[in-house]
Structure 1
Amino acid sequence: MTSDCCKSGFAWNGTPTGTETKVAGINTYVTGDSKSAAIFMIHDIFGWTFNNLRVLADHFAKEADATVYLPDFFGGEVIPEETLTNPELKAKVNIGAFLGRHNKAIRYPEMVAVAKELKSKYPKVGGTGYCYGGWALFKLGADPELIDAVSVSHPSLLDKSEIDALKVPVQINAPETDGQLTPELKEYVNKVIPTLNIPYEYVYYPGLVHGFATRANLNDKRQKDGLERAKNATANFLKEFLH
């Protein structure tokens, strides 16, 4: 995954209302006060401090009636938000090297540790992931002991074996143009997941591109409408399986 789509988009205004804590020893943004349901949110390459994601987490806490946890799976490394609008900064970000430092073998055990801690505290735990976080939620979704339902938006780094292994309800928010969720992978998920005997929802966003659900241009009506539709779809899907 070395394409520019993963480091392009827009930053949003809005002040997150949550706090920072640790889960399984990992720095985590937390928002909401539900005792019955949690949402495990896994970030894109802009990481756990990305304002857009924290604002989304606040929405999900209210709209899905859950406590939302957004941990840091980049070990303190942050791609600055300014990268979105600064071509010089964008040019300096080597996506391949970055993902090498935070590959599945290194980061997935941390994600399992967080999932186990959340499951020990809440009767129900759902998950949502964006871009980089997408593959992670699919892997977690192979084990109902770790998570109860997952919603992913424009997932990256997805292997067919991770699709085959799903065992919990799954939702995919899929833009029309996506170098990661390719036409071949779109065809694959829609062929395979309906055979897995799990609830499945595929939501398609015409005219939109990879990253729209976290980095949409709010001054563009189509992007703004797509973002809101994806936010609502994720909140409604998780709420259905958490309550």
Structure 2
Amino acid sequence: MASNPPAKCCTVGVKHDGEPTGTTFKVGAYDAYLATPPAGVAAAQDTAILYLPDIISIWQNSKLMADQFAANGYLCLIIDLFNGDPLALNRPDDFDFMHVDPIVVAAVKYLREEKGVKKIGGVGYCFGAKYVARHYPAISVGYFAHPSFVDEEELAGFKGPLAISAAETDAIFPAEKRHRSEEILKEGGHPYQITLYSQTEHGFTVRCDLANKQQKFAKEQAFLQAVTWFNHYLL
């Protein structure tokens, strides 16, 4: 694997303050949240961000992050990869990852057919990173944060620009996995970026303690990394 399976650190974090401004609804049978660029913000035409979340799925922090993508001009859809039943930390041996793929397909179809989107950028946090990788070329530009469960073949199969935010302390995406990912992406020959954030742990981009100055800085810089990446490669 290019990254290890989720662990306890995937559920530890701080709930962030704020009032989400998007819409909670259903894409087919699946829970979803849609954030739309507010009035006065120039919206990216025919373009959207598909947000594939960590195992906590659609909640306060992920909604606020989707709103931030919208504030930067991107229609942003979060889809519940777990169909109302977030992944248990001690997953059963027969857990079928393939059951997640149809949910991503439904989200892509909604963006294409209902919203007229032609270009989709994918953001994958922890568990969600695997499904950004798996759904190239429907997702043409990718961004991972502290990825988990991504196989080397899946990473190599993403043939578009891909950026990764990595935590300094991360048993799921440790240095050896990060370095192997660098080798795979270099061999692929497509634009890539891997940025390591000091004094951070797995999950920092979504669930860090914003009262901690360093963690807050890292979270904000990682988000800026994603937006800058999409601004350059998706627009």
Instruction: Give 1:71's aligned residue.
Output: 79
Aligned to 2:89: 95
SS in 2 for 1:47: coil
Question: Residues 97 and 224 from structure 1, CA distance in 2 versus in 1: closer, same or farther, beyond 3 angstroms?
Answer: same
Q: Which residue of 2 aligns with 1:105?
A: 98
Instruction: Tell me: CA distance 1:2–1:213, structure 2 relative to 1, closer, same or farther (3 Å).
Output: closer
Identify the residue that residue 204 of structure 2 maps to in structure 1: 212
Q: If the length of structure 1 is used for normalisation, what is the TM-score?
A: 0.85
1:8 lines up with 2:12 in the alignment = yes
- Measured after TM superposition, the shift of residue 100 of structure 1 is 5.9
CA separation in 1, counterparts of 2:231 and 2:94?
A: 34
Structure 1 unaligned spans of 5+: 80-93
- Code of the residue aligned with 2:100 in structure 1: it is R
Residue aligned with 1:185, SS: helix
**Cα shift readout 1:151-205 (whole Å, capped 9, x = no counterpart):** 0100111111111211111000011111111222111111120221211111110
1:124 Cα offset (Å) = 1.3
1:54 equivalent in alignment to 2:47: no
Question: Contact 1:37/1:125 (CA < 8 Å) preserved in 2?
Answer: yes
Hey, what does 1:127 align to over in structure 2?
A: 122
Tell me which amino acid in the other structure corresponds to 2:27. V
Alpha-carbon distance in 1 for matches of 2:179, 2:118: 34
Question: Deviation above 3 Å: which 4+ runs of structure 1?
Answer: 98-101
2:144: which partner in 1? 152
Cα drift, residue 129 of structure 1: 1.1
Q: Is the 8 A contact 1:36 1:66 kept in 2?
A: no
Contact 1:16–1:58 (CA under 8 A) maintained in structure 2: yes
Offset of 1:78 from its aligned partner?
5.0
Unaligned runs of 5+ in 2: 38-42
Distance 1:209 1:173 in 2: 11
Q: How far did 1:115 drift? A: 1.9
Preserved contact between residue 41 and residue 70 of structure 1 (Cα < 8 Å): yes
User: 1:36 aligns to what?
Assistant: 46
Native 8 Å contact 1:40 1:68 kept in 2:
yes
Calculate percent identity across the aligned residue pairs: 29
Distance 1:217 1:178 in 2: 16
Which has the larger share of helix? 1
2:7 and 2:172 in contact (8 A); partners too: no
Provide the secondary structure at the position in 2 that maps to 1:52: helix
| Matched letter for residue 15 of structure 1 | E
| Aligned 8 A contact 2:6 2:148 in 1 | no
